[in-house]
Amino acid sequence: MITVKGISKFFGELKALDGVSFEVEDGETCAIIGPSGCGKSTLLLIMAGLLKPSEGEVLVDDRAVNSPLKNAALILQDFGLFPWKTVYDNVALGLKIRGFSRRAERERVTALLEKFGLKGFEKSYPKQLRRGDEAESSYSQSNRNRTPNPPDGRAPLLP
C-alpha cells in the first residue's frame, strides 16, 4: 500500500503542493490528473523518493520513503531514455551501475528485450523507434532490476 500524508512542497515562495493526502491499496490503480504546472510530477518525484517534501510523508508498505525506492519505477512523459545510447545500453545502464557481470547483464537485458518485443532493436537508438517502442524500451529500462508482468504485456501510459 502507498500512503501519501499531508504532502506539501515549496520552492521558495511558490507552493507546488499543499497538503495532498491519499492511499493506494495493493493491486489498485490510481491516476494523478491535473492541469500543467499543478504539481503532478513533483508529487511523483516525492513518492519515488527522488525529492524531499517540505511537509508530510509518503509510506510504502508502512515504511517511510526517505530515499529513492529500489523496487519502483518512475516513467515520465519523455520516457527518460538517453538519446546517445542504444536500446541495449539504455536497458543495461542500471545493471552496469550496480556492478552486474557482463554475462548476468546480457542475460537479463536479453530477457527484458524479448519480453517487451524489442528483440532485434538492440543496436537501435531511441530516435529510430516508434513512440510505442520508446515506451517499451523505457519500461524495460525501469524493470532492469525487477521483472513484473504488466497486466496487458505492454508498457503502461503510452502517449
pTM: 0.56
What is the reported pLDDT for 36?
Answer: 79
Rounded CA-CA distance 48/58 in Å is 9
Strand-pairing partners, residue 147, are none
Mean pLDDT (the chain) is 80
SS3 of 104, please? helix
Half-sphere exposure (CA, 13 Å, Cβ side) for 73? 21
The torsion region of residue 132 among left (phi > 0), alpha (psi -120 to 50) and beta comes to alpha
pLDDT at 86 > cutoff 80: yes
Question: Given a cut of 80, is residue 64 above it in pLDDT?
Answer: yes
- Tens of pLDDT along 134-156? 555 555 555 544 434 334 444 43
Dist. CA 92–CA 141, nearest whole Å: 7
